[in-house]
Amino acid sequence: MHWHDYPDREMMHLRLADKIAGQLADYLRRDGRATLSVPGGTTPGPVFDILSGVDLDWAKVSVVLNDERWVPEDSPRSNTRLLRDRLFRGPAAAARLIPLYQPGAATPEDALAALEEGLAPHLPVSVLLLGMGADMHTASLFPGADRLGEALAANAPPILPMRADAAGEPRVTLTAPVLKAAINIHVLITGADKRAAIEKAASLSPDLAPIRVVLDQADVHWAE
Ligand SMILES: O=C(O)[C@H](O)[C@@H](O)[C@H](O)[C@H](O)COP(=O)(O)O
């Protein structure tokens, strides 16, 4: 893990957005296309605000969430809604959103095959930005989740439905092989509790601390 401490959150958001944009640009130059995967939750919004205004060939960028909550897209709990509100604005509105949610499908299982088919051509992820909970979950890989073992397996499909007490609603999540195969990996965390959690995760197995699956390869960005 490569640790980056910042004097404050604003500095962290600016530097991280700049780093992500630079890595996407490199990838676009090399491959002509790029895939960016991002978290939902409360932490990444300011990074999205900055990224959305960056001058990049966004039309060649595919964006997929790390995970989605199975709620309608107008719900305040919807990560897709967060992306539409904070990332898909200005220049970044030209990017292509690869959905992890299907309106009208009652459960993730009803839509899984179609979502997986839509995602497959956009893998591997060129730049992966992850959040983390104080319980060491990342994406929707929660300790104790019903299908965590399957999602951690080396031969896991790219996405799986996931249910966990801490998750609230059912989720769809990228699985460990997709996270680990990402070319550039960043973890964005704030506060003393998450700092202590990620330090502890380094000595635990992925079933207890799912963030562990990317930790050896990740750049971790932290501010109080
Ligand atoms: O949809 C989600 O909930 C996420 O993608 C999840 O993995 C998130 O990154 C962490 O729960 C941290 O969330 P906060 O940033 O809100 O603390």
pLDDT at 63: 99
CA of 105 to the centre of ligand 1 (A): 23
| Residue 138 CB neighbours (<10 A) | 30
The domain ranges of the chain are: 2-189
CA of 186 to the centre of ligand 1 (A): 14
CA of 130 to the centre of ligand 1 (A): 8
CATH of 2-189, one of 2.40.440.10, 3.40.50.300, 3.40.50.1360, 3.30.390.10: 3.40.50.1360
End-to-end CA distance of the chain: 19
Rg, the chain, Cα only:
16
pLDDT tens digits, one per residue of 14-73: 999 999 999 999 999 999 999 999 999 999 999 999 999 999 999 999 999 999 999 999
- Token pair for 46: 């300011």
Ligand 1 site, residue 131, Cβ cutoff 6 A: yes
Cβ neighbors of 105 (< 8 A, separation 6 or more) are 111
Ligand 1 site, residue 68, Cβ cutoff 6 A: no
pLDDT at 104: 96
CA of 140 to the centre of ligand 1 (A): 8
Ligand 1 site, residue 40, Cβ cutoff 6 A: yes
| Residue 22 CB neighbours (<10 A) | 14
Residue nearest to atom 3 of ligand 1 (CA): 41
Q: Mean pLDDT, 10 residues at a time, over the chain (224 residues)?
A: 97 98 98 98 97 98 98 97 98 98 98 98 98 98 98 98 97 98 98 98 97 98 98
Ligand 1 site, residue 62, Cβ cutoff 6 A: no
Task: Pick the atom of ligand 1 nearest to 194's CA.
Answer: 17
Instruction: Give whole-number Cα distances, 52 to 45, 85, 90, 134, 211, in Å.
Output: 11, 10, 6, 28, 27
Instruction: Give whole-number Cα distances, 142 to 65, 83, 175, in Å.
Output: 16, 22, 11
Ligand 1 site, residue 139, Cβ cutoff 6 A: yes
- Please provide the DSSP assignment of 162-190 as one string: E--GGG-S-EEEE-HHHHHT-SEEEEEEE
Question: Tokens 């404050």, residue?
Answer: 8
pTM of the entire predicted model: 0.98
HEC string of 39-67?
CCCCCCHHHHHHHCCCCCCHHHEEEEECE
Distance CA 7, CA 138 (A): 24
Among 174, 198, 182, smallest CA distance to 66 is for 174
CA of 163 to the centre of ligand 1 (A): 15
Ligand 1 site, residue 17, Cβ cutoff 6 A: no
Spatial strand order of the sheet with 219-223 comes to 2-5, 219-223, 184-190, 127-130, 34-38, 61-65, 96-98
pLDDT at 203: 96
Task: From 138, 142, 187, give the residue whose CB has the most ligand 1 atoms within 8 Å, as the site to mutate.
Answer: 138
pLDDT at 124: 98
- Token pair for 204: 């635990």
pLDDT at 89: 96
pLDDT at 172: 98
